[in-house]
Structures are given as structure tokens and as C-alpha cells.
Structure 1
Amino acid sequence: MAEMQSHTLSILVENHFGVLTRVAALFARRGYNIDSLAVGRTEDPDVSRMTIVVYGDDAVIEQVIKQLYKLIEVIKVVDLSKEEHVDRELALIKVAATSETRSDILQIVEIFRAKVIDVGTNTLMIEITGGSDKISAIEKLLRPFGIKELARTGKVGLLRGAKDTAKEK
């Protein structure tokens, strides 16, 4: 039986209205759940990069990539999971903080090289970037203090070194 694993797909698309909807619909029609999705313009304002994390075996991901290429706005698809790459995620975490717990929370923030970006009467808002494991680890450590709100961006990533997701299919 094929092994289900996380795949991070970097998809270059024409920066047009409705492209995100068509890509998301492709995943929905085939019953694939998107674990995370990040979209933004690239160095070329006419091109956007979608970074989609999806679970599946290699055959399923290969099929997804073939289906993506059938969408006319798709320029290039790379499974970053198969190549040397760098990926990061951003999280904002609002945590309950009393005068008794504030120093413990600040110590965790320092260890993870995160930043306090807002201080409230009874809360601290923390910004952290890094790999998904790092984000999950700080979240786990802050949970006992009381996480009031949490927002995670999902992964963004690029191939390492001179390799790039060139614009040809």
C-alpha cells in the first residue's frame, strides 16, 4: 500500500481573477483536502505563487499535478517535497498573560526567537516564523497559559540554490 505523506506544491499561475477558485475547485472535486494554502504575487506582478500543502501518496499527487496543468492559467507546478527547499510559516498567537505568568511566557518567546508584537492588559501577542514543527512546538508550550487566538499562514517555500520554478511548463 502506498504511503500517505504531506506534499508541498509550489504552483505558478497567471495573476487573474478566479484562478484561486478554479485551483481550489479542482482539489474539492477530487475529494482532496488542502491542509494549508498561501497565495501571493511573485517578483513578476503578472504571476502569483500558490503554495498548497496536501496529503496523499505519490500516485495521487502525480494525478493532482497533471490535473493542475490542464488549467490554462497554471504556468508551472513543483512538488517541493521532492527537492531541496526552504519553507516557512508565520503565526500570530494571542496568549493570556498575568503578572505572574508574563515572565515565563517571555522566556519561551526568547527561546524560540519569536517577538512580542502587542501587549494588552491581560494578553501578549506573539509573532513567530519558522518551520511547521517550530510553530507547533511553541503553540504546545503556550497552550497551558491560555491561547486566546491563533492565526497560522500555512507554508510558503522556494527551491534551494540556483534552481527555480521557471515559467515554462
Structure 2
Amino acid sequence: MKIHHRDTERHVLTITVDNEAGILAKIAGLFTARGYNIDSLTVADISEDHALSRITIVTNGPPPVIDQITAQLERLVPVHKVVDLTESGAHVERELALVKVAGKGDNRVEALRLADVFRAKVVDTTTSSFIFELTGDPSKIDTFVSLMRELGLVEVGRTGIVGMMRGAEGA
């Protein structure tokens, strides 16, 4: 059951954790227990010795709930650091998508034209379809996918959002 709240805000959280079994389930459980959805989730090994991972979670909720979730995440033993990029200031968000579009004739030409405008790369092609690779802000990918729906969208795969603070300081 999803709980609906007024004054919900989108937040991007980065969590540095020990790379151990079960930590992702514990973190997801904190959101589940409060009835909040995880809109995007990415995990990557970030240390040379494979001891640390970085989890990026995009969620929506009122600020007090996000603060509570952040505080509880910080108390988990394998968690080293939690940063709310949304609250911390200027940051960069990116996502990768593979977008398959089928089409012939004018639709095929238009799909290629739009791909060029969005700087999407053709990574596979047949006589009846393309697979485009696109990276960028999530809203850019949303717009590209929306335009491709009109031209013969077949399938979309998205990686989820990753984010980092701007500047020399780490998050």
C-alpha cells in the first residue's frame, strides 16, 4: 500500500556501504516499512578491493520522512555515508537507456533525425529496427522515449539514475 502525502519532494540519495550480502534488502526494507516507493535504484562497486559499493536511490516523500529515512540509513552498521544530493546543492544526474524502435520509410528517417538531435547513438540496426543508446538527464530520456512512441517504440531498458555533487568535494 503506497501512502500518499502532500508536500512530497523528489530526492536523490547516495549511500556508501560495505559490499556485503543483504545490505540492499535492509535498505529497501526501510522504504517499504514507511510505504515509500523507490523510483530508481542503482548499485556499483566503487573500491579497488571490492569492499565498498555506492547505492543511488531516487524516491519521493515529504522532507521530514526523507530526513528520518536518512537518519535510519546512517545507523545501519554496514553504511558509511548517506548524502541527500537534492539537499546538498548542485549535482549532476545521468541515466543510460537502450531504446528499440521499429519502422520503415518516413518513420525510420524521422527516428534517425530525432536520435541525432538527442545525441543518441545507434548501437544495433536491422532493416526494420534500430536500438539507440542514450545518456543524459532523466527528463531528456523521458522526452526521447515519448517521441519514439509515435514512431514505433518497441522496447525500453533504463539503468536508473546515478548522481554526484558538482565540484571537487566528494559526496
SS in 1 for 2:119: coil
Structure 1 gaps of 5+ residues are none
Deviation at 1:3, TM superposition (A): 2.0
Q: Name which of structure 1's ranges 90-99 and 107-116 shifts more when overlaid on structure 2.
A: 90-99
Deviation at 1:84, TM superposition (A): 1.2
1:75 maps onto 2:96 in alignment: no
Deviation at 1:2, TM superposition (A): 6.0
Corresponding residue number in structure 2 for 1:59 = 64
- 1:88-143 CA distance string (max 9 Å, x none): 01111111121332111100000001101001232110110000110011111111
CA distance in 2, matches of 1:77, 1:2: 25
1:7 maps onto 2:11 in alignment: yes
Corresponding residue number in structure 2 for 1:102 = 108
Deviation at 1:57, TM superposition (A): 1.3
SS in 2 for 1:145: coil
Identity of aligned residues (%): 44
Choose which of 27, 32, 36 in structure 2 pairs with 1:32: 36
CA distance in 2, matches of 1:91, 1:27: 25
Normalised TM-score (structure 2)? 0.92
Q: For this pair of structures, how many residues does the alignment match?
A: 165
- 1:4-33 CA distance string (max 9 Å, x none): 110000111111111111111121122110
CA distance in 2, matches of 1:124, 1:162: 39
1:145-156 map, 5 Å: 145-156=151-162
CA distance in 2, matches of 1:46, 1:116: 36
1:42 maps onto 2:46 in alignment: yes
